[in-house]
Amino acid sequence: MTRTVLCFGDSNTHGTPPATALDAPSARYDRSLRWPTLLAGHLGEGWHVIEEGHPGRTTVHDDPIEGAHRNGITVLPSLLESHQPIDVVILMLGTNDLKGRFSVNPTDIALSLERLIRVIRAFACGPGGQNPGILLVSPPPILETGCLAEMFEGGAAKSHLLGLAIASAATRANVAFLDAGAHIAVSPIDGIHYEPAAHATLALALAAALRENFPN
């Protein structure tokens, strides 16, 4: 029986490459370079990986500049229903919450992720109407550099505390956890997005985490 993994994230799940200018045309890595595709290759037969990344996606915040549609909690229920049954949800958000416009701290971001976990469980979208497994992933620390530096002003310091805050959230919610910052780093070009080598490394780490935490 095929097991389904839903990858719910932001631009780094979508496959957005590092930006060199705010007005640069939208870009996306080829499917073969993106970590969800690479993850599917590592997992092999018996797994179906769904790529659900949206650039600018937040945990629970309507973005006053880029649009309310980027609020993760508003779209999550429909995605859970449309893709069910789902065996595992990989939840990797929080980077966009570091934008200065949201004025939230690492604990607030972690608590927002806990709220998303409650939404996932409320919909009982796993096989047989059970709860799916959840792998909560803390994104790597950001850099304030390049064309996105001002947008994320003050976010770098917060991001270095985010892994610990999200790990605590995972413990409270009793879900599996992976600190992506222990495996990859953001690109020095814009301080937010991942280069292809990071996608490859992250895919390997996630495959190992899935096998360890959800063996059956």
Please tell me the distance from the alpha carbon of residue 154 to that of residue 37, in angstroms, as a whole number.
Answer: 33
In this prediction, residue 28 has a pLDDT band, given cuts at 50, 70 and 90, of very high
pLDDT for position 151:
97
Cα angle vertex 199, ends 75, 141, to 5°?
75
Cα distance between residue 125 and residue 147, in whole Å:
40
pLDDT at 24: 84
- Asked if residue 7 is part of any domain, the answer here is yes
Q: Report yes or no on 22 lying in a domain.
A: no
**Domain presence at residue 20:** no
- Total tally of structural domains belonging to the chain: 1
Question: What pLDDT does residue 35 have?
Answer: 98
**pLDDT score recorded for residue 34:** 98
Q: Is the pLDDT of residue 132 over 90?
A: yes
Q: Can you give the pLDDT at residue 80? A: 98
Is residue 125 helix, strand or coil? coil
Q: What is the pLDDT of residue 202?
A: 98
For residue 90, the SS3 value is strand
Please state the rounded mean pLDDT for residues 112-141.
97
What's the pLDDT at 25?
85
- Tell me the pLDDT of the chain averaged across its residues: 97
User: Has residue 167 been placed in a domain?
Assistant: yes
DSSP classification of residue 71: B
Above 80 in pLDDT, residue 216? no
**Domain that includes residue 36, residue range:** 3-14+28-213
Mean pLDDT of 61-81: 97
Position 18 scores a pLDDT of: 98
Q: 68 lies in a domain?
A: yes
Instruction: Please give the distance of CA 186 from its chain centroid, rounded to a whole number.
Output: 14
CATH of the domain at 189: 3.40.50.1110
